[in-house]
């Protein structure tokens, strides 16, 4: 089910009955830290929306755990939008096969643990966002 709340940054693809914006990983903390991540797919807003409709058909039956995408490019990122397709790394090749069957040809794997590190003070994404804010204020 696509959960598109206009006031939220992310549009979620969750199983029917799941709560939007509540991150869910069906593993213990240890399992989560060791194995949980996502495929990142970058494309135009239109292409990502089209892909979301295709991916959604695989979320409700549990073939894909969950996904999310931003409705417009971030202020400090690429000119593209991103879709995050979540899964355990032990399932990532199976999930990649689904994405490939939906027409995805380029993707990046990233562990959630790395994302958390990147957003901590001093992390790569934290510094990038801070730099972007500073540059905006100087205009």
Structural domain including 59 reads 2-111
120 contacts: CB under 8 Å, gap ≥ 6: 126
- 65 within some domain: yes
Q: Residue 24: its pLDDT value, please?
A: 56
User: What is the pTM (predicted TM-score) of this model?
Assistant: 0.85
- 20 within some domain: yes
- 129 within some domain: no
Q: What share of the chain is helix, strand, coil (3-state, %, to 5)?
A: 40, 20, 35
Instruction: Kindly report, residue by residue over 1-10, the tens digit of the pLDDT.
Output: 999 999 999 9
Q: Are strands 36-43 and 108-111 parallel, antiparallel or unpaired?
A: antiparallel
Q: Residue 21: its pLDDT value, please?
A: 47
Instruction: Kindly report, residue by residue over 54-113, the tens digit of the pLDDT.
Output: 999 999 999 999 999 998 887 766 789 999 999 999 999 999 999 999 999 999 999 999
- 131 within some domain: no
CATH number, position 17? 3.30.760.10
Q: How many domains does the chain have?
A: 1
* Other C-beta atoms lying within 10 Å of the C-beta of residue 71: 14
Asked if residue 29 has pLDDT above 90, the reply is: no
- 47 within some domain: yes
């Amino acid at each position: 089910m696509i959960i598109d709340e206009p006031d939220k940054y992310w549009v979620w693809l969750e199983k029917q009955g799941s709560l939007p914006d509540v991150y869910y990983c069906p593993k213990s903390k240890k399992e989560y830290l060791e194995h949980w991540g996502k495929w990142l797919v970058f494309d135009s807003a239109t292409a990502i929306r089209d892909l979301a409709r295709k991916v959604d058909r695989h979320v409700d039956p549990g073939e894909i755990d969950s996904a999310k995408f931003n409705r417009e490019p971030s202020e400090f990122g690429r000119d593209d939008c991103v879709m995050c397709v979540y899964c355990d790394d032990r399932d990532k090749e199976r999930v990649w096969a689904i994405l490939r069957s939906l027409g995805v040809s380029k993707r990046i794997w990233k562990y959630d643990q790395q994302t958390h590190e990147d957003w901590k003070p001093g992390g790569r994404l934290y510094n990038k966002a801070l730099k972007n804010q500073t540059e905006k204020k100087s205009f």
